[in-house]
């Protein structure tokens, strides 16, 4: 009997040591991914972007309407604070981007003062940082280059990678990022200290296996960004630009599958490539994004059930463009 007990104890010890060894290896490999440093190009652009020639021409036309043509040459923009107007328009564009396209509120809170990304101790606890100028805010001293690195490259100012889902933002143009910065800076300060991220044993295993994305591993850190977003009149190109925000869940080929870094209880992301949507209509597509319903009328499952918060804020032109790209390729 004692031999059996000693044998079982020895087996328990061996299994424990094996599991401990596997955990140590996973921890080293997983944390090694985020501890790696990256060299990212340095960019610069104005915040806010100045009014474009087209905007200035439209403004002149608006202010010229109704003037006496015999009154002589008049600078209709004299006295207009063009910088303040540019700021106002940038904030409005930034607000639309965050409400309809880029899910910053999901991680950083509706007030941008910080929020919870994942709170599942076996996986880990990850929090969106405070983006405001209040106590606990982390971006007050960010330069434009810092914003570029963290948002479009997934790299922190110290050069290390992050689990921020920047893969959705890889095609973001300079002007769009500038608009977002303008909006963020215009928000009131929120005093909120956010805890540092903590990886649980399951999270470390997922990191070691590569099942959690580190955008720094996916981005081209020397590739120049587009200065301006595509013209909305170029429907398919504009639609492709919009659909970039889908790749975090649906994959870079939009073929779907397990969601990297997602809750294990979530179902795999659907295939939304051209072939999968062949029998869909524009109305089917709109119903999914705006109403959160499948083609058969049933409610979408988590996490796509969250999509209406954003899809309902997309303009008809944006919905049409995204659909044209997804349906026609």
**Per-residue pLDDT tens digits for 108-136:** 999 999 999 888 888 888 899 999 999 99
**CB burial class (10 A; 0-12, 13-18, 19+) of residue 88?**
middle
154 and 284 co-located in one domain:
no
| Burial class of residue 237 (count of CB atoms within 10 Å of its CB; 0-12, 13-18, 19+) | middle
pLDDT value at residue 101:
93
Tokens matching residue 78: 């004299």
Hey, which of 62-66, 68-72, 152-156 has the most confident mean pLDDT?
152-156
The pLDDT > 90 percentage for the chain reads: 61
Instruction: Answer positive or negative: Cα dihedral of 321, 98, 230, 224.
Output: negative
Tell the burial category of 144 from Cβ atoms under 10 Å away from its Cβ (0-12, 13-18, 19+).
middle
- What number is the average pLDDT over the span 85-109? 95
Report the half-sphere exposure of 128 (CA within 13 A, side-chain side): 20
Q: What pLDDT is recorded for position 260?
A: 78
Residue 326: CATH number of its domain: 1.10.760.10
Residues 102, 187, single domain; the answer is: yes
Closest CA to 144 of 50, 220, 227, 43: 43
Give the pLDDT score at 89.
98
Report the pLDDT averaged over residues 264-286: 91
Which of 229, 251, 271 is the endpoint of a domain?
229
Q: Is residue 4 part of a domain?
A: no
pLDDT of residue 70: 66
Q: Is residue 2 over pLDDT 70? A: no
Rounded to whole angstroms, the Cα distance separating 288 from 23 reads 41
- How high is the pLDDT of residue 154? 94
Same domain, 235 and 105: no
Q: Is residue 18 part of a domain?
A: no
Contact 218, 169 (CB under 8 A): no
> Which residue range(s) make up the domain with 296?
231-329
272 in a structural domain = yes
For residues 182 and 302, state if they share a domain: no
Q: Note the pLDDT tens digit of each residue in 127-178.
A: 999 999 999 999 999 999 999 999 999 999 999 998 888 889 999 999 999 9
Compute the average pLDDT of residues 49-61.
94
Crossing angle for the helix pair 2-35 and 201-209, nearest 10 degrees? 60
* Residue 227 near residue 174, CB atoms below 8 Å: yes
Q: What pLDDT score does 72 carry?
A: 65
How many structural domains are present in the chain? 2
pLDDT at 5 over 70: no
Answer whether 40's CB lies under 8 Å from 155's CB: yes
Asked which of 172, 207, 229 is the last residue of a domain, the reply is 229
> Cβ(223)–Cβ(302) under 8 Å?
no
Domain boundary among 229, 257, 288: 229
Q: Based on the domain organization, do 131 and 41 belong to the same domain?
A: yes
pLDDT class of 34 with cuts at 50, 70, 90 = confident
Dihedral Cα 37, 41, 46, 49, nearest 10 deg: -100
Residues 169 and 32 in one domain: yes
Q: Tell whether 209 and 246 lie within a shared domain.
A: no
Q: Is the pTM of this model over 0.75?
A: yes
Q: Name which of 143, 146, 169, 171 is nearest 157 in CA terms.
A: 146
pLDDT class of 25 with cuts at 50, 70, 90: low
Residue 18 has pLDDT above 70, yes or no: no
258: helix, strand or coil? coil
SS3 118: strand
Considering the domain architecture, whether residues 222 and 134 belong to the same structural domain is answered as yes
Cβ neighbors of 276 (< 8 A, separation 6 or more) are: 255, 256, 270
| Highest-pLDDT range among 71-85, 112-126, 231-245, 254-268 | 231-245
pLDDT greater than 90 at residue 233: yes
Task: Round to whole Å and give the CA distance between 100 and 108.
Answer: 15
Percent of all residues in the chain with a pLDDT value above 70, rounded to a whole number? 89
The continuous run of DSSP H or E covering 199 comes out as strand 198-199
Name the pLDDT band for 319 (thresholds 50, 70, 90).
very high
Q: Which residue would you say has higher pLDDT here, 258 or 319?
A: 319
């Amino acid at each position: 009997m004692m031999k059996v007990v000693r044998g079982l104890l020895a087996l328990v010890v061996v299994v424990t040591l094996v599991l401990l060894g596997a955990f140590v290896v996973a921890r080293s490999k997983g944390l090694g991914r985020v501890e790696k440093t990256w060299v990212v190009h340095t960019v610069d652009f104005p915040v806010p972007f100045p009014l474009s020639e087209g905007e200035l021409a439209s403004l002149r036309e608006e202010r010229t309407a109704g003037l006496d043509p015999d009154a002589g040459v008049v600078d209709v923009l004299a006295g207009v604070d063009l910088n303040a107007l540019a700021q106002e328009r940038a904030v409005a564009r930034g607000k639309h981007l965050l409400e309809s396209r880029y899910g910053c509120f999901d991680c950083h809170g509706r007030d941008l003062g910080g929020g919870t990304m994942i709170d599942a101790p076996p996986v880990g606890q990850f929090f969106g940082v405070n983006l405001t100028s209040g106590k606990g805010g982390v971006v007050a001293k960010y330069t434009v280059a810092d914003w570029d690195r963290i948002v479009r490259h997934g790299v922190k100012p110290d050069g290390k990678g992050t689990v921020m889902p920047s893969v959705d933002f890889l095609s973001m143009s300079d002007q769009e990022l500038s608009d977002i910065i303008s909006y963020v800076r215009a928000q009131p300060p929120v005093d909120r200290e956010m805890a540092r991220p903590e990886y649980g044993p399951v999270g470390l295993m997922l990191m070691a296996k590569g099942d959690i994305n580190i955008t720094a591993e996916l981005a081209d850190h020397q590739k120049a960004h587009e200065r301006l977003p595509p013209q909305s009149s170029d429907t398919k190109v504009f639609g492709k630009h919009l659909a970039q925000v889908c790749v975090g869940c649906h994959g870079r080929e939009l073929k779907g599958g397990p969601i990297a870094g997602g809750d294990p209880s979530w179902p795999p992301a659907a295939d939304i490539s051209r072939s999968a949507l062949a029998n869909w209509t524009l109305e089917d597509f709109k119903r999914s994004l705006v109403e959160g319903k499948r083609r058969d009328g049933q409610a979408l499952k988590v996490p796509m059930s969250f999509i209406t918060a954003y899809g309902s804020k997309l303009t008809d032109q944006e919905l049409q463009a995204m659909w044209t790209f997804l349906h026609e390729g």
